[in-house]
Amino acid sequence: MADREALFACPLLAALPADDRDAVLSRLRRVEASKGLRLFSEGDEAAAFYIVLSGWTRLFRADAGGAEADVGLFGPGQSFGEAAMFLGGRFPASAQMAEPGALARMDLAEMRRLLDERPRLAMALMGSLSLHLHGLVGRLAAMRLFTAERRAASYLLARAQEHDEIPARVRLPYDKAVLAGALGMAPEALSRAFAALRAQGVEVRGREIEIRDPDALRRMLD
């Protein structure tokens, strides 16, 4: 049931007519993935794209010295890797499991055949790629315009709004190092940002975070 919910929430599939969606679903293969598993590396020949069923996957690029920069973090119901069909058949980034989970894998060759047979899939694919682009633009804007403290506050406020109670108690779904990469900062910068947010009623204990005053975070972002 959880797999089905994640698949039907995926923008690539959600807007499709039932027959086109079923054609894609019938070609997906479920893959169990452990934490730290490298799914593909930047420059690899693109053989498949993925939909996250559970767990989290990070996409990143690395320089010659091994320094990494995250370009995306994908959770249940989100797809990644499909853009490689239009990028010379090579992956533009590396993908690694940030948390253990399961993925739905589809061969890109199969997807290309389906696009020839079912042109409506092309519009769904363009919509999915557009969402990826908008997400990337939003992350770049936040990194340019927000301090590390404000980026952390924005993330925590979004998580607090998922809960009705005050104080809101949330649990990070992945390591703080992964969150730091997703927010475009080093882990030590995230630790400093969390420390600064204590004055706004934020208490961090490992992955457990208590947000005592969401309004204080809102005022920071106004």
Q: Which pLDDT score is estimated for 142?
A: 66
Mean pLDDT by 10 residues, the chain (222 residues): 83 85 91 96 92 95 85 92 78 94 93 84 75 70 78 90 84 92 91 94 93 89 82
The number of angstroms, rounded, from the C-alpha of 85 to the middle of its chain's C-alpha atoms is 20
40 CB contacts (<8 Å, ≥6 apart)?
A: 46, 47, 81, 91, 94, 95
Is the bond preceding 167 in cis, omega lying within 30 degrees of 0?
Answer: yes
156, 6, 144: which is closest to 74 by C-alpha? 6
Q: What is the pLDDT of residue 111?
A: 85
Q: How far is the C-alpha of 152 from the C-alpha of 217, rounded, in Å? A: 10
Which structure tokens are listed for 54? 């559970």
The beta strands (E) that lie in 66-174 are given as 68-74, 79-80, 94-107, 168-171
Output the six-digit token pair for 48: 């498949």
Give 51's strand partners: 79, 104
Interval 101-154: pLDDT, tens = 999 999 988 888 888 888 878 777 777 777 777 677 677 666 666 889 999 999
Q: Report the C-alpha gap between 200 and 198 in whole angstroms.
A: 5
Q: Which residues, in sequence order, are CB contacts of 54 under 8 Å at separation 6+? A: 2, 3, 6, 76, 101, 102
Report CA Rg, the chain: 19
